[in-house]
Structure 1
Amino acid sequence: MSTSKYFAQYPSFPSGSSIPIADIPTLYLAKLQAGSDEESLRLYEACRQHGFMLLDLRNSVQGEALLEDGERMFALLEATLTLGQDTLNRYACDPPRDLMGYKRAGVLKTDDGKNDAIDVYTLGQDDILGTVPPRENPEPIESHRGQCQKFIAHAHVIVASILNHLDKHLDLPQGTLAGLCALEKPSATAMRMLLSPAQPADDDRRINFGGHTDIGIITLLFNIVGGLQILPAGANNIDVNWHYIQPEEGCALINIGDTLTEWTGGLLRSCLHRVISPPGDQAQFARRSLAYLVRAEKNATVQRIKGGHVITPLGEGAEEDTRTVDAWATWRARQIMNGELKPQTRGGE
């Protein structure tokens, strides 16, 4: 979690010119909640230019509550993903049809053709909030459903605040984007727990999670040690071009997903990112992260949002994509898994 309690458990992120660090902005939730026009504009520009930004949650009642929730979720992550392999296998997911549940390390191919090195457990928001019949999850999760509900509720408040600011800059009625992912509407929104063990410092070291963009609307991520990298737009996908995002105490990482890029006609950037072993002395430690991945409600489509004067309409003769977000997401996931589509940064300036 992004608090001093957890940061103190690991070596500092290494400094020096040999470690390429992404130049992404840090925004302040308290300023956004206070209605700062300057901070709101910085948010919009970050969504266009980078697709990634750090969000400082301190000095905000909702932000501080989410930091506390995140600490509890990191403890739950540890309790869940360190269960025996046979136990975890009972909750295995079935991608791309069903991404909820457990994904063991080594089942996906990464950029270098090797297998991934990350264990993942994905919890559906609908399951946790009780808007659908509950799934069966491992005991640590089932005994902490209330804590998961609090994390999701607090995370959603902060995500909705960000989306409301984007409404203003996109010339949309207030509440448009947040209304497309309301808590009470069924969706594939999820909380995802990820664990990568420390890897050997030799040629056997693997990419933990291959280059990808997030399929949904927006993602809120907590991590403590490094390893998350982004590829600047237009750069070739080779190791020297990837830049680390340095985790910062008290901050969550926010990034834009493909659905929001589609809805805005490419105005906002969905940036290619991957996970590798942490740099420097941090590489000796397992890497844990916690993500809140916001997807659109199930009845929404991926067609461009109409209204206002910022999002340009489709060109003459262009055909509207009326598939639901779920159908479109499944199609994209299958294309990527079959090697028919190469993930890449999309949209933005």
Structure 2
Amino acid sequence: MVLITNFSIPIKQLAKMIAPMSHGDLPAFPEGLPLAPIARISHNKLLQNDPAEAEKVLEACRTHGFFYLDLTDTDDGQTLLGESEDLLELAYRAFDCPVEEKRNYALVKGVSLFGYKENGTVKLTDPEKRPDTTEFFNVSKDHMHGITESRTYPSAITDNRDLFKQFTRNAHETCMLVLTTLAKQLNLAPEAFANKNLFSEPSGDHCRLTHKFAHHSDKSAIGLPSHTDFGSITMLFNWLGGLQIQSHDPAKNKEWEYVKPVPGHAIINLGDAMVTFTNGLLKSGKHRVIPAPGEQVNVDRYSIVYFVRPHDSVLMEPLPEFTNLAAHLKVAGKFEPEGGKTLTAGEWMRQRSIQLGS
């Protein structure tokens, strides 16, 4: 990678100097690989309350827990796509500096998820104990919008606060559209899930800039080990392969399948909070990031993610409508609250963040 020390270079010019990250410039995603059969959902049809499209969302969230969201068919969707591209270009600048400098913004495990995570982390629950090859900056929605007092971030982030504010608000609204659609499909009040993820309340919501190093030599290294997200809903923009989810087809015996990046589409998945709120009716799909397939393995992988987490005061328990479901699933991750205590979302997130490793 080219080391850029002149930060006065325009972001778009800088991006071209560092890596060819547009779909047209990347090596092609190889043919013939096992692809996850996840649905493609139209943003426009969801906004129009299309019944068939709403049913597809519910089916996706009861099976794989993942689907593609086509953002090309609305103005708001096109805005989100543009913001994700701007954040991609910003990510090149944020990561292209010595690791010693990035460590000045390190997150504190078990205290806060916000800040910088270095590559080389070993997840505590990973049986193979493989160091990951992904670094990221978690940028708090609350910090960007002044909801809570901000920690320090690199200038590449703080100088672009308006972009983060616009992206987090637009991404949050789009995710709430999905949660409202699910609520209606489950015969709940439309705001049943959205009210547990209020934008204006302190929460773990954040935008993540990620960078996974190219696997030039160790092709068996892991980008991120298998996990489920522990928030409510996640929106991912990525331009390179490597994401896999575990198959729900019994005949495939939990085989890993690729989620191929599709231009103009975000990848949406549910997190464990939605499993908790519905007592196991909805699913948070297990996924991982491995070396990109084919010639893509030689390209650094960047992605932009928005995580919606329940606001901190929400109790992590099923909605009354789902309390008596027979198919209850344990979704507290690898910990159990002491004495059967019902945790708030803030407490729950801190417990889950400890599992990120060291």
Partner AA of 1:230 in structure 2: I
> For residue 65 of structure 2, what is the aligned residue in structure 1?
51
> For residue 322 of structure 1, what is the aligned residue in structure 2?
342
Whether contact under 8 Å (2:121, 2:357) holds in the other structure is: no
Whether contact under 8 Å (1:233, 1:271) holds in the other structure is: no
> For residue 223 of structure 2, what is the aligned residue in structure 1?
208
> For residue 140 of structure 1, what is the aligned residue in structure 2?
156
| Separation in structure 1 between the aligned mates of residue 49 and residue 28 of structure 2, nearest angstrom | 34
Please say if 1:107 is aligned against 2:121.
Answer: yes
> For residue 255 of structure 2, what is the aligned residue in structure 1?
241
Partner AA of 2:287 in structure 1: H
* Larger CA deviation: 171-180 vs 276-285: 171-180
Shift of 1:313: 2.5
> For residue 333 of structure 2, what is the aligned residue in structure 1?
none
Inter-CA distance 236–119: structure 2 relative to 1 (3 Å threshold):
farther
Whether contact under 8 Å (1:304, 1:313) holds in the other structure is: no
> For residue 289 of structure 2, what is the aligned residue in structure 1?
275
Inter-CA distance 95–335: structure 2 relative to 1 (3 Å threshold):
closer
> For residue 241 of structure 2, what is the aligned residue in structure 1?
226
> Which one of the candidate residues 169, 175, 192 is aligned to 1:153?
169
Shift of 1:112: 3.0
Q: Please tell me the root mean square deviation across aligned C-alpha atoms, in Å.
A: 2.5
Whether contact under 8 Å (2:275, 2:282) holds in the other structure is: yes
| Separation in structure 1 between the aligned mates of residue 93 and residue 113 of structure 2, nearest angstrom | 21
Cα shift readout 1:242-298 (whole Å, capped 9, x = no counterpart): 111000000000000000000001010111111011101111100011110000011
> Which one of the candidate residues 123, 128, 134 is aligned to 1:118?
134
Cα shift readout 1:8-60 (whole Å, capped 9, x = no counterpart): 120121102xx211111111101111110000000000000110000000111
SS at match of 2:112: coil
Q: Percent identity?
A: 31
Unaligned runs of 5+ in 1: 339-349
Whether contact under 8 Å (1:13, 1:246) holds in the other structure is: yes
Whether contact under 8 Å (1:181, 1:296) holds in the other structure is: yes
Shift of 1:234: 7.8
Unaligned runs of 5+ in 2: 1-14, 327-338
Shift of 1:103: 0.6
Equivalent pairs, count: 327
> Which one of the candidate residues 165, 181, 194 is aligned to 2:197?
181
SS at match of 2:105: coil
Superposition map of 1:66-81 within 5 A = 66-81=80-95
Partner AA of 2:232 in structure 1: I
| Separation in structure 2 between the aligned mates of residue 127 and residue 300 of structure 1, nearest angstrom | 20
Shift of 1:202: 4.5
| Separation in structure 2 between the aligned mates of residue 201 and residue 235 of structure 1, nearest angstrom | 34
| Separation in structure 1 between the aligned mates of residue 128 and residue 21 of structure 2, nearest angstrom | 35
| Separation in structure 2 between the aligned mates of residue 79 and residue 20 of structure 1, nearest angstrom | 34
Shift of 1:134: 2.0
| TM-score with structure 1 setting the length | 0.88
Whether contact under 8 Å (2:122, 2:131) holds in the other structure is: yes
Partner AA of 1:121 in structure 2: F
